[in-house]
């Protein structure tokens, strides 16, 4: 990897303005793709601003839980940028809170963004992807495999993402569309900065991980770039842990 594996490919990355999504956008562009970020707020860092000026990165404002906005966004991508080859469903939110006290609205919001959002984006994107034999990667989580205290709604949504990935892979293999998931462990991003900024919590979390360190967004992005490339042409329906060895050690 590290060449031009995705030359002339068109990609959508949801939630690509920061954290893991931003690293995925930058990585796909380095591999030669043109990428449209679908997100709620356009907050591009300097690198993304430069790539936008070069016509390699674009932005369309959506809430991934809103079908009407998504229909408009994907129509715009296919006509104004290029017919889609790659979809990375990355947008996600957490909702800390034990199940006993979790509000129904909180549960609904997590499921709507993390799980239904992937269903909606993929159902719309498959119309273009099936013409070209494209690829989808869903960002799940290792907490979709193992329960995580105080993260009941989040873990349930991510377990759903893993099964949705397998289901889409099964149904869309006939179109030569591959669908895989990546299950990150603990990756330092704005999502968990409120926790990891505390040195004690940072050290305690690192100590849980056999590799004894928190992951970096680019370490997820590299695996995503591999999965959407022809290097992974016989992989579909898989949920790949990228977690420094965390899974299996807890």
Known catalytic residues are: 154
For residue 180, give the H/E element and its range.
Answer: strand 178-184
Q: Which is nearer to ligand NDP, 134 or 184 (CB)?
A: 184
Which alpha helices (DSSP H) does the chain contain, by range?
19-30, 46-53, 67-76, 104-110, 117-132, 152-172, 193-196, 199-208, 217-228
Site track 192-231 with ligand NDP (rule: CB under 6 A), x = hit: x---------------------------------------
| Region for residue 35 given its phi and psi (left: phi exceeds 0; alpha: psi -120 to 50; beta: otherwise) | beta
Give the closest residue to 24 by CA, choosing from 126, 136, 122.
136
Q: Are residues 16 and 25 in contact, defined by beta-carbon separation less than 8 angstroms?
A: yes
Stretch that binds ligand NDP, among 27-35, 46-54, 75-83, 181-189 (CB under 6 A): 181-189
191 binds ligand NDP (CB under 6 A): yes
- What is the distance between the alpha carbons of residues 185 and 113, in angstroms, rounded to a whole number? 20
Whole-number minimum distance, CB 131 to ligand NDP, in Å? 25
Cβ closest to ligand NDP, residue 173 vs residue 208: 208
Identify the residue among 31, 70, 90, 136 touching ligand NDP (CB under 6 A).
Answer: 90
| Shorter beta-carbon distance to ligand NDP: residue 91 or 111 | 91
Stretch that binds ligand NDP, among 5-13, 63-71, 162-170, 231-239 (CB under 6 A): 63-71
Angstrom CA distances, 162 to 173, 193, 199, stand at 16, 25, 32
Which of 32, 52, 63, 206 binds ligand NDP (CB under 6 A)? It is 63
Which member of 153, 187, 221, 240 binds ligand NDP (CB under 6 A)? 187
Contact of 70 with 91, CB cutoff 8 Å: no
| Position 17 contacts ligand NDP (CB under 6 A) | yes
Distance, first Cα to last Cα, the chain: 31
Return the SS3 of 97: strand
What b/e readout covers 163-184, taking b as 16+ CB neighbours within 10 angstroms? ebbbebbeebeeeebbbbbbbb
What minimum distance in Å lies between the beta carbon of 41 and ligand NDP?
4
6, 9, 10, 21: which one contacts ligand NDP (CB under 6 A)?
Answer: 21
Q: Which residues bind ligand NDP (CB under 6 A)?
A: 14-15, 17-21, 39-41, 62-65, 90-93, 113, 139, 141, 184, 186-187, 189-192
């Amino acid at each position: 990897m590290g060449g031009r594996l995705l030359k002339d490919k068109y990609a959508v990355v949801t939630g690509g303005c920061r954290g893991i999504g931003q690293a995925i956008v930058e990585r796909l562009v380095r591999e030669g793709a043109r990428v449209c970020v679908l997100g709620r707020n356009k907050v591009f860092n300097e690198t993304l601003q430069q790539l936008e000026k070069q016509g390699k990165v674009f932005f369309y404002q959506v809430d991934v839980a809103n079908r009407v906005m998504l229909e408009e966004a994907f129509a715009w991508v296919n006509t104004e940028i290029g017919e889609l080859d790659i979809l990375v469903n990355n947008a996600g939110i957490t909702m800390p809170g034990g199940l006993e006290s979790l509000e129904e609205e909180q549960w609904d919001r997590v499921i709507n963004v993390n799980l239904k959002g992937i269903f909606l984006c993929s159902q719309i994107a498959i119309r273009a992807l099936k013409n070209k034999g494209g690829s989808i990667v869903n960002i799940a989580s290792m907490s979709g495999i193992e329960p995580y205290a105080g993260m009941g709604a989040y873990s349930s949504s991510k377990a759903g993402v893993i099964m949705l990935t397998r289901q889409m892979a099964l149904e869309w293999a006939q179109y030569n569309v591959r669908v895989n998931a990546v299950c990150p462990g603990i990756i330092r991003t704005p999502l968990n900065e409120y926790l990891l900024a505390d040195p004690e919590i940072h050290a305690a979390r690192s100590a849980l991980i056999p590799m004894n360190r928190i992951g970096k967004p680019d370490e997820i992005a590299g695996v995503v770039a591999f999965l959407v490339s022809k290097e992974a042409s016989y992989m579909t329906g898989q949920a790949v842990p990228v977690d420094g060895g965390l899974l299996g050690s807890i």
